[in-house]
Amino acid sequence: MKIERLRAFMSRDKDRPRVLVAIDTDDGLTGWGECYNHGPDKALLPLLDYLFGFIKGHDPRRIEYLIHYLMQQTRFPPGALGLAAISAIDHCLWDISAKAVNLPVYMLLGGHARDRIKVYAGVYTAPDPAAARDHLDQLNEEWGLTAFKLSPYRIDMHRNRWGEVVRTSAEYFRQLRETVRSDYEIAFDAHARIFEPQQAIQLGNALAPYDPLFFEEPIRPENFEAWGELKRGLTCALATGESLYSRFEFLRLLQVRGCDIIQPDICVVGGVLEMQKIATLAEAHFVTIAPHNPMGPLATAINVHFSAAQTNFKILEYRLPHGPAYVFGGTGKETAKPSEGTFYVKDPYLPKDGYLELRPDRPGWGVEINEEILGKEDYVHWERKVPVKPDGSTGYC
């Protein structure tokens, strides 16, 4: 079996661009992968074409060899775009390898350690506890979800006294806990907007009495020692890792005991192979893994197989798939039920009772790609909303 062709597609998932990759073999198998969208997504297409030159003609089942070989081609450790491209190639190789033996990918990763994957949904639009309750209850009624992630901020952190930011956040969570069902798990994503670790400690400890599932990425990722200081000062679970890359960066984070939960992204760290190595390091430090997954339904499928095989897996971030045709309920809220044949994944993994069920009778990632949709470029420009402070300088995000 030899790698014959690589095809890259620019698509979208609602308002986000998506870059999907197919690798075809000389005996008719096709593997699929997804890149992380960093913003300059069009830069990924020529990069993928360049990387393909190094793997063309090779046996796709030599995943360790091929990924290590690609990692060496940049001379220095590859950055965000390089790793996003390598991640998608890695996904394709796993998909092909599993299809070649007619097995789900998780069976090549040591088999499934669990029968289904618990997920949580991000909810960032509820302005008050009553509205939040209605939104969470709707997601619970439709999908059985009982775990959610919200923003901790109730007021503009750059235009209000920090103590007031902390007070309003804690008061909101207190009211939320008194309003929603007691079995709901609620995490808070601070989105790396806080520069000073001491302020992050203040906010996390203000939320702690109301039992957050975790407090996510309050500060920038670059200073690992600062994360160790932050964790030692917190009385709630600390999660981070979406902005880190290889096992070497995660090792530094774990060595300083900088978190309770790691959140690597399988579409940017280098793929499944690197994610497994990261998870093993975390397990040796008694740290659980909750993969970062804001991507499309193919990325979710890949995460399902990875998560199924990890003993220290905790929970998976889940974004309900949206496509060119998505359904709205009578309240005007999106129910995000994709119509068959209208999206680039025809049969996405959808939650049942708050979990994604494994598909043991389907080889590879267990989903079918709609190539007719992918054949039509559907690029949408996206950029981060960088906060602007009252003095005209920009904040972090």
Catalytic residue among 91, 135, 191, 322: 191
Provide the residue type at 80 as one letter.
A
Q: Which residue has the higher pLDDT, 263 or 372?
A: 263
Whether the pLDDT of residue 52 is over 80: the answer is: yes
Structural element, H or E, at residue 88? helix 80-100
Is 216 annotated as catalytic?
yes
What's the mean pLDDT in 149-162?
95
Is 242 annotated as catalytic?
yes
Distance of CA 4 to the CA centre of its chain: 30
Catalytic residue among 41, 90, 216, 217: 216
Catalytic residue among 41, 189, 249, 317: 189
Give pLDDT, residue 17.
84
Give pLDDT, residue 320.
84
Separation of alpha carbons 197 and 34, rounded Å = 34
Catalytic residue among 38, 112, 135, 292: 292
Q: Tell me which residue has tokens 């509205």.
A: 131
The pTM of this model reads: 0.93
Catalytic residue among 217, 260, 265, 274: 265
- Maximum distance among all alpha carbons in the chain? 64
Beta-carbon-side half-sphere exposure of residue 151 (alpha carbons within 13 Å): 15
Whether the pLDDT of residue 216 is over 60: the answer is: yes
Separation of alpha carbons 349 and 306, rounded Å = 14
Separation of alpha carbons 314 and 287, rounded Å = 10
Who's near 372: CB < 8 A, 6+ residues apart?
Answer: none
Is 292 annotated as catalytic?
yes
Give pLDDT, residue 65.
98
What's the mean pLDDT in 94-121?
98
Separation of alpha carbons 169 and 191, rounded Å = 15
What's the mean pLDDT in 161-185?
97
Q: What is the pLDDT of residues 3-12, one digit of tens each?
A: 999 999 988 8
Whether the pLDDT of residue 151 is over 50: the answer is: yes
Rg of the chain in Å (alpha carbons): 21
Tell me whether residue 178 is exposed, middle or buried, using C-beta atoms within 10 angstroms of its C-beta: 0 to 12, 13 to 18, 19 or more. exposed
* Six-digit token string for 360: 């043991």
Is 49 annotated as catalytic?
no
* Six-digit token string for 393: 């300088």
In terms of Cα–Cα distance, which of 185, 192, 233, 190 is closest to 212?
A: 185
Catalytic residue among 95, 217, 242, 249: 242
In three-state secondary structure terms, 238 is strand
pLDDT category, 328, cuts 50, 70, 90? Answer: very low
pLDDT category, 338, cuts 50, 70, 90? Answer: very low
Whether the pLDDT of residue 269 is over 60: the answer is: yes
Q: What is the pLDDT of residues 347-396, one digit of tens each?
A: 999 999 999 999 999 999 999 999 988 877 677 888 888 999 999 999 99
Alpha-carbon distances, residue 258 vs 204, 228, 251, 288 (angstroms): 14, 4, 10, 13
pLDDT category, 30, cuts 50, 70, 90? Answer: very high
Is 222 annotated as catalytic?
no
Sorted by where each starts, the structural domains of the chain and their CATH numbers stand as 3-103 (3.30.390.10), 107-357 (3.20.20.120)
Is 91 annotated as catalytic?
no
